[in-house]
Structure 1
Amino acid sequence: MINRFTLFLVLVFTLSLSQHSAFSQEKTPSHKFWETLKSHCGKAYEGKLVSPESDPRFAGKLVMHVRACEDGRIRIPFFVGDDRSRTWVLTRDEAGLIQLKHDHRHEDGSEDQVTQYGGKATHAGSVTAQFFPADQFTANLLPAAVGNVWWITVDETSFTYNLRRLGTPTLFSVRFDLTQSIDIPAAPWGWQD
């Protein structure tokens, strides 16, 4: 026969296990950020340059397309007019930290000489923002980019892609309106549909 004290201990132990289980299943900010991005998979959005206000290299229609959401990887082509050379590639490691790489291609699909640069988040960030300081590969490929920090923000209404080169006045920012999807664009250079 179980006495009241033993029953009380069993109850306290059971409650503590259920609370621990609930806390351990709580999603990290980077996981929630990832899920928000994935919710846009298959959709395309138009954007505008925020900083600088104008740049001849980004004078065409700006479009992002959350084209591929695979297990642990999201690929987002970024088009500038007819230039379909750029894709942002986000991957997640086992700890849930996110990495950003830039995949640059020529029109024939071959890799550009300057490609696969980027960085990895050093912490879980926030639900709406992830920061990617330049990694060693980037520093070796582009020594001037050793001070680059990229960041992406996403909320219910907008997605922004940003770059700051520390120690310089360089700031690049483009914002996409997530409230209005547009027609799906053609595949980026080097992709097979």
Structure 2
Amino acid sequence: MIRVVLADDEPVVRFGVRAVLGTAGDIEVVAEAENGSAAIDLVARHRPDVAVLDIRMPVFDGLDAAKVIRECHPGTKTLVLTTFADDAYISRALGEGAAGFVLKTGDPQEIISGVRAVANGGAFLSPMVAKRVVDQLSRAHPRPLATQRIEVLTAREREVLGLVGAGLSNAEIAARIHVVEGTVKVYVSTIFRQLGVRNRVQAAIIAHESGIIPG
């Protein structure tokens, strides 16, 4: 069972997300918070697998909470709930340790998929969020086209990057391409270094932008 702490300052949103996660069968919301500070306390108390955090909350916002959770409770992964009004937070979010982004108004199934992906050590981006992130970063930090950036990768590394972008963990990638997990870890480290990214979310963005996500 994947244990989740859910934080959002809107009771209606918490009710909706809890109801969606309750349909999964393998996910349990063990505690809820109205702000980021309370979410941190609940993570310390319950040690969940995943903290689902709204970006905009009083006291501590979701990104402040994600940073503290990453530093103090690394066993808990964070999945950020976002809206299209949150573009100003995106660059900051990528540096605060969030393992995934899910659009509040998107397909409810994406929340379930996101929780499962980050719980298993993967990254997750709702497709519409991925496009928004890519557009925002391109405006703020012009870079070569993603298709040009991945030219430095081997065919196998591109395959692994696509699977990272699809939200698979190292263990799942290893099973997919029939290698041991240690080999995947080497591939992922090499990909990060070659692309100049720091985490799976940043790598996933490039995978989405370059169109190499497997169907």
Same fold (TM over 0.5): no
Structure holding more helix per residue: 2
Structure holding more strand per residue: 1
Q: Answer with 1 or 2: which has the greater Rg.
A: 1
**Greater relative contact order, per chain length (Cα 8 Å cut-off, separation 6+):** 1
